[in-house]
Amino acid sequence: MWRAFLVMAIVTVMSGCPGTVSPQPVQGRTTVEKNTTYFWKVASSTLEWGTCSDAEDFRASVSALPFGMNSFLIYKTDPEGKTAKAQTCTSLDPSTCSDSNSGIVFVVGGTELTFVRDLLKEPLRVRDTTGMERDSTCSLTQLETWTMRDNGPKFELDVTNSLGLVADTADGGAECDLIENSLISRSPNMAGVRGCIINFKLAGDLR
């Protein structure tokens, strides 16, 4: 019933990485440069669970965001320095970059960049009394909030995924309750999905 939770990453893997084209790293700066492409090399990726079910089937398909030796988080600020678009590049050269198809556009506030994705909703699958699978009248909701912190020579990115259940029909609330209670009953920590927060974290260095 629980499919992989969707977190749309914007990590670019590049085969060639010549040059250093990001702005000179300045620790303690208070704003990002305007009309500038930033290349951040990913050095670590971790996953933190909040108060969420620890049922095996619930957590099985969730893992930290993957990265490799040439994985980068890249964005370009606009001429006013108010927003920054995620980029896809083939090397550490802004001329090889284009806007990412992720559609992620950060709002810039000093050296902190934020993005909130539209609420995602997916009907949950359940089995009826005959053993047949069907879409339930209850959906899993996911709200992604991205917070990118430019710490000068280093960066931190938190992608917070807040989960919940919502009824798709007037009488769907009862099915949501059944799904939640079933999950709680098979969870050693006696938690469910309502109010569950999963935090995906990336960190690394300016290149």
| pLDDT tens by residue, 83-109 | 999 999 989 999 999 999 988 999 999
Which residue numbers in the chain have pLDDT < 50?
A: none
- The H-or-E segment that residue 31 falls in is none
Instruction: For the chain, give every domain's residue range.
Output: 11-18+28-206
Q: Which tokens belong to 12?
A: 């670019």
Let me know how many helices (H) and strands (E) the chain has, helices first: 2, 11
CA distance 24 to 26: 6
CA distance 148 to 170: 39
Q: What is the pLDDT at residue 30? A: 81
Q: What is the pLDDT at residue 116? A: 96
CA distance 166 to 154: 39
Q: Which tokens belong to 96?
A: 């090889």
CA distance 42 to 168: 39
Q: What is the pLDDT at residue 123? A: 86
Residue type, 189: N
**What angle is formed at CA 103 by the lines to CA 102 and CA 108, rounded to 5 degrees?**
115
Q: What is the pLDDT at residue 135? A: 79
Burial of 14 (0-12, 13-18, 19+ CB in 10 A): buried
